[in-house]
Amino acid sequence: MIETWNIVSGCERLTPGCDNCPTYWEYKEKGLDYHPKEHPERLSIPLDNPTPSIYMVATGSDLFHEAVGLEFIQLAFEVMRQADWHQFQIVTKRAERLEAASKYLQWPVNSIAGIALEEGKYKWRIDCLRNVDATRIISFGPMTGAMGKLDLSGIHQAGVVVEHWGPNPREILPEWIDEIHQQCEEQGVTILNKHWLSQGVA
């Protein structure tokens, strides 16, 4: 069972990949404050759920946004460690914060660290992810361009996100997907479903 664990809400535009973020448009339509906000009252949710589940952490937001305190992130990691019958997936575009914060974090064995990658000019994020001591995943998308040549050493899993949300979902070219899949196969990276529909990463 896949669940969302939205211990952080709100975000801000970082790259063109954010332009169709469904959470942003929902907040905008409702006139809500989109500034990132911590929700400590939601930290215990996985502990209260006895059914083994896969938790997507801070969907439509970003646990590693600069506005989220390191102490709060550490509290979330302690919950993940305690709730060892669940699995947790954390995907961020803020790869530099992910790398820096991970020096003060111990990633539980039931967690996955990931980055979102929209096009080749952001592939430096892979270098940041490589330095995180965890199971490492790349979520390619929502793609806004081709990736080009990739160094996937140290990466365990990858999937392609097909944008299906927002006011004008953007087309993804088949050759972009084929290029990623070929490089994953050549470099021994486990490929998730060909059109992996992400829960959404801000």
b/e per residue 35-58 (b: at least 16 CB within 10 A): ebebeeeebebbeebeeebebbbb
Look at residue 30 in the predicted model and tell me its pLDDT.
85
Look at residue 195 in the predicted model and tell me its pLDDT.
43
Look at residue 198 in the predicted model and tell me its pLDDT.
37
Domains defined along the chain, listed by start: 2-191 (3.80.30)
Per-residue pLDDT of the chain (202 residues; tens, 9 = 90+): 899 999 999 888 887 777 777 777 778 788 888 889 999 999 999 999 999 999 999 988 999 999 999 999 999 999 999 999 999 999 999 999 999 999 999 999 999 999 999 999 999 999 999 999 999 999 998 888 899 999 999 999 999 988 776 667 778 888 999 999 999 999 999 998 644 433 333 3
Distance CA 133, CA 72 (A): 19
Look at residue 141 in the predicted model and tell me its pLDDT.
82
- Quote the radius of gyration of the chain (alpha carbons, Å): 16
Q: Tokens standing for 143?
A: 């793609």
pTM over 0.85: yes
Distance CA 128, CA 173 (A): 27
